[in-house]
Amino acid sequence: MNRSLLVVFILLLAACGGNSSSNGQLSNGVAQADRGPEFSEVDRLEPGLQGQIPLASQINGDSALGYRKGLKLVGQNTILDRGANFSMAWIGDCAYVTTTSPGQIFGPLASPYADARFNPLNGMAVIDASDPTNPQLVQILQSPAMLGPHESLQANEARKIIVATRGGGTAFDVYDASDCKNPVLAASINIGIGITLPELPIVSQLLSGIPGGLNALDIGLPFFGHALCLSHDGRTAIATSSASTNAVINLDNIEQPFLMHLFAPAGHDCGFNPTDDRLYLAQFGFISLGLGLPNGPAVGQNGMGIYDISAIKNRSIGTSPFLFSAAPPLLGFVPWTNVLIGEAPTAGSHTARYFKNNGRTYLYSSDEWPTAGVCPWAYGRIIDITDETKPRIVSNIKLEVNELTNCLATELDVANYSAHYVGFDNPEEATTLFTTHYTGGLRVWDIRDPLKPREIAYWHPVPNPNTPIVPLSEFFGSSGSRWDAVPTYVRYRPETGHIWIASYSAGFQILAFTPSAGPSVPKPTGR
């Protein structure tokens, strides 16, 4: 199925089930006449603990209306009600949203990691948000990595590129997004060595013409895709696999990207400093030593490593002839042991993002374990890295649902309150921190004093009952009409004051602050 046939197929699908906009774009935007109270400035406060969707509220239908404080909906697109929306990146007025937890759209036994058959709704949704009140779905793009990128989707504004690795596999895709509404696949390569099982004849007939080994199981060996961070100059990607190695990928020529080398210890996720000569690596317990299975259990010590990657930035280190190379010089490391800090044994170091405040340099770091049944739930922290050789935790970003004493109360909810990803109003002088917590929703924090973060707003999306749900999907991402999960990175647009997120069933959403968030919220610049 080539790209043109795929677009035609989706257009037919949209004509049958979705709304079509006047300009021919795909749509599942919310029409003015259908706008509910979530578009108003009226708060609807959480009925239980901070961050909680109590079981009683799920049963009586109250949670189906969502909860919010200090935020309202500006515009929304449910992406053809496909569900499983998990990662988001952006360039200019365009958002890119990819899928995971694929059983929601493939059926309970299907997965792009192990089964090449796929639904045309799966892949990278391209959304035109130039009108924030009516964001439009332009197209859904499929390529070897974008069919199952898990947490690896990233975009770079400077070079107008989008990249991802395939979850569990070796595929790496680069898109040229010079026209942000029409990204073009510039290259698709394989990172390292993997196993590709023989193709099934019937699948080959159905999917003929698609590159990248999509007709068979793709499992990476020394590297398998999980997450990724992209340098600010757009020249280097570092892809993580959480359980084995990290891959350094040269993007100097986006039509000919190549693997420079692999190194350990493995990270779950990572980040760069603004000058791209430091790597912040979230190291996931014993897994960071190369032991264990993907994602746990992280029964050992978690932590955050600070690495000098000047040689990678300057290209003074060449491509390793044997794929493997020594890790970059370690400048500093801050450890923690999940059980000793009141988290479940399965939780592991996950997120690493840089910011500055009042002349000091920090990281936001969170742990994660993304399924129900593993309280006490993983939470986040702020690490002062002004002295890179002596990083230190200065405060925790913790909801009441994350408290050990509330474990039994939250366990009854059959939900997932783990921390996940992050955003800032301005990383170079951050006053506002955005965090996502799956079922706990989007949370907004005043961090003008990073030692005393204070929550000022939150958002639980109204769940989309039209999203297909399969058994057990609620343990990871969505529960039909009872609650929705917010897993993505968060974009704050200073010129408009708008906040971009995506959630499992409600899709792409643009939010704005309301007066109840208080006077400390960032003010739109209008530029």
Residue ranges per structural domain of the chain: 46-517
pLDDT for 194: 74
Helix, strand, coil percentages (3-state) for the chain, rounded to 5, are: 15, 35, 50
Residues near 54 by Cβ (< 8 Å), separated by ≥ 6? Answer: 47, 48, 63, 413
Query: From the CB of residue 63, how many other CB atoms can be counted at a distance below 10 Å?
Result: 29
pLDDT for 318: 85
Q: Which of 96, 147, 153, 229 is nearest to 500 (CA)?
A: 96
Q: What angle do CA 75, 80, 86 make, to 5 degrees?
A: 75
pLDDT for 241: 87
Which tens digit of pLDDT belongs to each residue from 434-445?
999 999 999 999
Residue 275, exposed/middle/buried by CB under 10 A (0-12, 13-18, 19+)? exposed
Q: What is the CA radius of gyration of the chain?
A: 21
Residue in this structure with the two tokens 């040229």, named with its chain if needed = 176
Integer Cα distance of 514 and 38 in angstroms: 11
pLDDT above 70: residue 12: no
Residue in this structure with the two tokens 């493939």, named with its chain if needed = 106
Residues near 213 by Cβ (< 8 Å), separated by ≥ 6? Answer: 144, 171, 190, 196
pLDDT for 121: 83
Q: How far is CA 407 from CA 116, 151, 189, in A?
A: 39, 27, 44
Select the more confidently predicted residue: 215 or 188.
Answer: 188
- Tokens (6 digits) for 233: 């100059």
Q: What integer is the mean pLDDT of 71-76? A: 97
Q: What integer is the mean pLDDT of 496-500? A: 98
Integer Cα distance of 128 and 132 in angstroms: 9
Query: From the CB of residue 356, how many other CB atoms can be counted at a distance below 10 Å?
Result: 18
CA-CA-CA-CA dihedral for 364, 304, 346, 325, to nearest 10: 130
Mean pLDDT over each residue of the chain, to the nearest integer: 84
How many residues can be counted in the chain? 527
Q: What integer is the mean pLDDT of 9-29? A: 46
Give the pLDDT band (50/70/90) at residue 115: very low
pLDDT for 210: 38
Query: From the CB of residue 278, how many other CB atoms can be counted at a distance below 10 Å?
Result: 22
List the single range of 154-168, 293-307, 391-405, 456-470 with lowest mean pLDDT: 293-307
Give yes or no for a contact between 306 and 388, defined as CB atoms under 8 angstroms apart. yes
pLDDT for 2: 38
The topology (CATH level 3) of 46-517 is: Methylamine Dehydrogenase; Chain H (2.130.10)
Strands, E assignment, 369-479: 380-384, 392-397, 422-424, 432-436, 442-446, 454-460
Query: From the CB of residue 110, how many other CB atoms can be counted at a distance below 10 Å?
Result: 18
Q: Which of 97, 395, 422 is nearest to 271 (CA)?
A: 422
pLDDT for 399: 98
pLDDT for 213: 38
Residues near 470 by Cβ (< 8 Å), separated by ≥ 6? Answer: 103, 104, 107, 108
Residue in this structure with the two tokens 């399969």, named with its chain if needed = 470
One-letter amino acid of 169: G
Q: What integer is the mean pLDDT of 48-59? A: 96
CA terminus-to-terminus distance, the chain: 43
Counting runs of H as helices and runs of E as strands, what totals does the chain give? 6, 33
Task: Note the pTM of the prediction, 2 decimals.
Answer: 0.90
Select the more confidently predicted residue: 11 or 381.
Answer: 381
